[in-house]
């Protein structure tokens, strides 16, 4: 999810090898929400209908009238001369099984001219960004940058894609985000290029894929060492090469020195964004301000080898350079038969190099720990098991996430399907070793795969309080589970489609002012569960109520996009939209899809 909460970034895996690689796309979810709302109002029949928000057009004049065999270019040519987004509702239809669900063809919302080709079988995607904290002082069309870091299993590589977009306050779903994706650090767009209007793609002309340069696909260290120092005739080799199949990746950033802090906006010299001129890492002692050292590292697990690799991402999230491979560990996890299967990876507490990192396995219930040293060096730690604490079955831990405090971890166990809550408070006596004790287990739907943690509002004793919720995708059952970890209650399950895998939220995924929290966290000024005053408490200044940042599908002054979960469905080739607004009659239900579900195959 983009920090502005209006664009999703997605990878297409190309698992059937139909194409010469995979792709990364940007999906305009604000335009999709507008299309769904306009379809609910006016349908997709022929005849000129509409209003000032949805436009007045006839679906008989749209490219949808050409039939399913028409190409994207042919449909665009037919709609030339009109506001293209007004025809979006013509590509929507009601679900056969549940007419309350609206499915719309995905090509209407994918920014086709910004599609980037990468290698085969992408794994996880992490987003690194830090927008200015004072949105009110930021000029219109100021350049905003995000780094998309992708584990590509087939290369293997860690691939960097830059997303750049101008600030557009009050953007409606009918307006383009003017977002640009690039995969060549040597030809990076300047701020002036990003601020300049993006010309619309000529209707009826073919699209071209953006290719990644070699410098953005990192699979080795930049320096070489002698193969045999005693025999230089044998030549050189990379100091480290990336092991096979990078699977799970995680970006961590903060200050190297204990006790130092990083504030949002301290990479900027503009006094409206950094009023006191603090450095990126600092510590106040009396009247003196000490300067620390900022870091941002990426760590990856490797499925077949059980190793971990670490990358240095440079010194600034607003000027992201290509990752530099810094270290590769030995095998952290192994079984009695020699198999490894390293899978999920996460640190106990982000922004603190003294804390342990955890690696799970796809083949065993053993978890391995390590620490990151300065310069992204991996220091192996302890191993421990979890299955013996509550079951004799071997657990397959597919995902692990921690609370921001680091005191609890949540593990999605594939078989038998469950969510295990683990006490990861530090042991007494000044030790940095967590307790690592499973305290509760919640039964889940079949095939838990990915999870995300969020703070959601709930009424308690007549007051609104923020409580923790865990949302888990269940690949085998086609559902998403919502769990209250405080009570151990499975709050509910929601149908999502066939093969749900990744999940992204447009709310409640960050508690800090720096967005050091969970990657992909939305800005507090766009979070539907936070007010402008809530954002101010985090040190973020939001624009006024006129042209604000909040995603409003029908434009300024209209309703904001409510709390939503977006779930990628591997077997359906769709993205499901789940309603997580407690005030809505469709609460905890799927309300829309981006893409039409692939037909079920008859065996």
Over the stretch 159-203, which tens digit does the pLDDT of each residue have? 999 999 999 999 999 999 999 999 998 888 999 999 999 988 887
Q: Does the pLDDT of residue 389 top 90, yes or no?
A: no
Q: Three-state SS for 109?
A: coil
Does any domain span residue 539? yes
CB 309 within 8 A of CB 325: yes
- Please check whether residue 189 lies inside any domain of the structure: yes
Mean pLDDT of 552-567: 94
| pLDDT at residue number 464 | 72
pLDDT at 97 over 50: yes
The verdict on residue 106 lying in a domain is yes
The CA distances from residue 416 to 102, 163, 481, 496, 562, in Å, are: 33, 39, 15, 21, 34
| Cβ contacts of 208 within 8 Å, gap of 6 or more | 113
Which residues lie across from 160 on neighbouring strands?
A: 149
Whole-number pLDDT of residue 16: 60
Decide if 502 contacts 473 (C-beta within 8 A): yes
pLDDT at 497: 92
Cβ atoms of 333 and 388 closer than 8 Å: no
Expressed as residue numbers, the domain containing 121 is 7-218+513-594
Q: Largest Cα–Cα distance in the chain?
A: 82
Label each residue of 2-61 as H, E or C.
CCCCCEEEEEECCCCCCCCCEEEEEEEHHHHHHHHHHHHHHCCCCCCEEECCCEEECHHH
Let me know if residue 251 belongs to a domain. no
* Residues 581-595: tens digit of each pLDDT: 988 999 999 999 999
Are the C-beta atoms of 150 and 122 separated by less than 8 Å?
Answer: yes
Strand partners, 456: 467
Residue 418 lies in a domain: no
Query: pLDDT at position 29, please?
Result: 97
Strands 479-484 and 463-474, sheet pairing: antiparallel
DSSP one-letter string for 111-125? -GGG-EEE-SSEEEE
Mean pLDDT of 39-48: 91
How much is the pLDDT for 599? 63
User: Comparing 17-31, 141-155, 269-283, 498-512, which segment has the lowest mean pLDDT?
Assistant: 498-512
Based on the structure, what is the number of domains in the chain? 1
Q: What pLDDT is attached to residue 394?
A: 57
Determine the pLDDT at residue 379.
94
Residue 520 banded pLDDT, cuts 50, 70, 90: low
Nearest Cα to 480, choosing from 488, 491, 467? 491
Residue 34 predicted with pLDDT over 90: yes
| pLDDT over 60 at 517, yes or no | no
> Which pLDDT tens digit goes with each residue over 119-170?
988 989 999 999 999 999 999 999 999 999 999 998 999 999 999 999 999 9
Is 401 a domain residue?
no
Answer yes or no: is pLDDT of 482 > 90.
yes
**Within a 10 A sphere around the Cβ of 380, how many other Cβ atoms?**
14
Residue 398 has pLDDT above 50, yes or no: yes
Assess if residue 458 is contained within a domain: no
pLDDT value for 512: 47
Using one digit for the tens of pLDDT, what is the confidence trace for 435-478?
999 999 999 999 999 999 988 877 777 777 788 899 999 999 99
Check if the beta carbon of residue 433 is closer than 8 Å to that of residue 426: yes
Mean residue pLDDT of the chain comes to: 88
Q: What is residue 408's predicted lDDT score, i.e. its pLDDT?
A: 93
In 10 A of CB 580, how many CB atoms? 26
Q: Is residue 179 part of a domain?
A: yes
Write out pLDDT tens, residues 209-246. Answer: 889 998 999 999 888 888 888 888 888 888 899 999 99
Percent of the chain scoring above 90 in pLDDT: 59
């Amino acid at each position: 999810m983009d920090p502005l909460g209006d664009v999703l970034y997605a990878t297409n895996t190309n698992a059937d090898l139909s194409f010469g690689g995979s792709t990364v796309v940007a999906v305009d979810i604000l335009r999709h929400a507008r299309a769904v709302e306009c379809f609910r109002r006016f349908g997709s029949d022929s005849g000129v209908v509409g209003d000032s928000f949805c436009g007045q057009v006839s679906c008989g004049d749209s490219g949808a009238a050409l039939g399913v065999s028409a190409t994207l270019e042919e449909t665009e040519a037919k709609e030339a001369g009109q506001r293209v987004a007004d025809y979006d509702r013509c590509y929507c239809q009601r679900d056969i099984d549940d007419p309350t669900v609206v499915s719309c063809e995905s090509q209407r919302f994918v920014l086709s001219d910004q599609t980037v080709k990468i290698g085969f079988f992408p794994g996880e995607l992490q987003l690194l960004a830090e927008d200015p904290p004072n949105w009110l002082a930021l000029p219109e069309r100021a350049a905003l940058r995000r780094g998309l870091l992708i584990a590509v299993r087939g290369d293997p590589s860690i691939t960097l894609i830059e997303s750049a977009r101008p600030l557009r306050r009050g953007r409606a779903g009918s307006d383009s985000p003017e977002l640009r994706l690039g995969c060549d650090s040597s030809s990076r767009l300047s701020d002036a290029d990003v601020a300049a209007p993006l010309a619309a793609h000529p209707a009826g002309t073919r699209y071209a894929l953006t290719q990644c340069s070699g410098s953005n696909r990192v699979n080795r260290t930049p320096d070489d060492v002698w193969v045999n120092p005693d025999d230089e005739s044998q030549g050189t080799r990379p100091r480290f090469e990336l092991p096979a199949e990078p699977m799970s990746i995680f970006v961590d950033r903060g200050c190297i020195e204990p006790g130092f802090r990083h504030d949002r906006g301290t990479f900027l010299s503009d006094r409206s964004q950094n009023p006191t001129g603090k450095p990126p890492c600092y510590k106040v002692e009396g009247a003196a301000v000490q300067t620390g050292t900022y870091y941002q590292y990426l760590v990856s697990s490797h499925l077949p080898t059980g190793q971990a690799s670490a990358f240095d991402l440079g010194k600034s999230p607003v000027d992201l350079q290509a990752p530099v491979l810094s270290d590769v560990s030995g095998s952290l996890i192994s079984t009695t038969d020699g198999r490894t299967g390293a899978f999920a990876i996460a640190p106990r507490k982000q922004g603190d190099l003294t804390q342990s990192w955890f690696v799970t396995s796809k083949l065993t219930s053993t978890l391995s720990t390590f620490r990151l040293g300065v310069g992204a060096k991996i220091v192996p730690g302890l191993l421990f098991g979890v299955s013996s604490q509550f079951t004799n079955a071997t657990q397959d831990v597919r995902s692990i996430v921690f609370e921001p405090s680091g005191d609890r971890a949540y593990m999605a166990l594939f078989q038998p399907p469950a969510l295990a809550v683990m006490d990861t408070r530090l042991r007494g006596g000044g030790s940095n070793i967590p307790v690592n004790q499973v305290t509760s287990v919640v039964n889940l739907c079949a095939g838990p795969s990915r999870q995300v943690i969020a703070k959601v509002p709930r009424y308690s004793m007549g007051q609104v309080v923020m409580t923790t919720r865990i949302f888990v995708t269940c690949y085998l059952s086609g559902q998403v589970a919502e769990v209250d970890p405080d009570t151990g209650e499975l709050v509910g399950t929601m149908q999502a489609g066939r093969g749900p895998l990744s999940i992204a939220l447009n709310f409640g995924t960050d508690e800090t002012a720096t967005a050091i929290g969970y990657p992909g966290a939305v800005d507090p000024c766009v979070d539907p569960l936070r007010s402008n005053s809530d954002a101010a408490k985090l040190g973020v200044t939001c624009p006024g109520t006129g042209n604000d940042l909040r995603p409003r599908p029908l434009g300024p002054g209209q309703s904001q996009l409510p709390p939503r979960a977006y779930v990628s469905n591997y077997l359906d080739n769709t993205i499901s939209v789940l309603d997580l607004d407690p005030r809505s009659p469709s609460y905890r239900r799927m309300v829309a899809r981006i893409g039409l579900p692939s037909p079920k195959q008859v065996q």
